[in-house]
Amino acid sequence: MEEVLIKRALISVTNKTGIVEFAQFLTDNKVEIISTGGTEKLLREAGLPVKKVSELTGFPEILNGRVKTLHPYIHAGILADKDNQEHMATLADLNIIPFDCLCVNLYNFGKAAQEGLKLKDAVEQIDIGGPCMLRAAAKNYHSILVIPGPEHYEPVKEALQANEMKATLNMRRKLAAITFDETSDYDRTIADYLAFPKDE
């Protein structure tokens, strides 16, 4: 797709800098927001209409938050190719609504590693659902806009405002490339730490 009209966004962020303001912008432009955990709580407390991921999936967050977005209702909505009629028919059959925007940033594993946490504690800061969603959206940039960090909120906002809330293919591709670069760095940090742990 050359342009994607942003109507539905999934937001799940660890670094919450600027997220209320960005979510307010989306809300003001009639974008439905689905969110998780602390992000959902923050947005709701700010008076923004937001739906919990668990309301969408019909399944609660479990294992101390380790499993919350790993669900077909989430990943099918991220990965569906909107130019593929079979994909869209499958979503319709299963009552899954596709996402147009994914705004996610990750648990700060690098900080946990620098703090010298024991390995058992440090691995709890390894994000699983976040990288899965980021990589899925980056792969499917032809159909969805991925926003991997707060530094992108203002440029994205300006671009969407200038184009009637439509994300261009060029912007989506560039952000997809940035996303893969960031998830690659994230994995490298984890791999290096596990190879030479400070304390088993």
C-beta of residue 6 within 8 angstroms of C-beta of residue 100 = yes
DSSP notation for 2-45? -EEE--EEEEE-SS-TTHHHHHHHHHHTT-EEEE-HHHHHHHHH
d(CA 7, CA 4): 9
Taking alpha carbons only, the member of 200, 149, 147 closest to residue 171 is: 147
**HSE, side-chain direction, 13 A CA sphere, residue 189:** 20
pLDDT for 199: 58
pLDDT in tens, the chain (200 residues): 899 999 999 999 989 999 999 999 999 999 999 998 889 999 999 999 999 988 888 877 777 767 777 788 999 999 999 999 999 999 999 999 999 999 999 867 777 667 666 777 778 778 888 999 999 999 999 999 999 999 999 999 999 999 999 999 999 999 999 999 999 998 998 888 888 766 55
Give the pairing of strands 101-104 and 8-12.
parallel
Element containing residue 159 per DSSP (H, E): helix 153-162
- Which residues share a beta bridge with 147? 103
pLDDT for 55: 87
Q: List, in order of start, the domains of the chain with CATH numbers.
A: 3-195 (3.40.50.1380)
d(CA 83, CA 186): 31
pLDDT for 160: 98
C-beta of residue 140 within 8 angstroms of C-beta of residue 81 = yes
pLDDT for 133: 95
d(CA 70, CA 47): 27
Q: How many CB atoms lie within 10 A of CB 157?
A: 16
pLDDT for 148: 96
Q: How many CB atoms lie within 10 A of CB 175?
A: 23
Give the pairing of strands 166-168 and 8-12.
unpaired
pLDDT for 122: 77
pLDDT for 200: 52
pLDDT for 60: 74
| Helix, coil or strand: residue 114 | helix
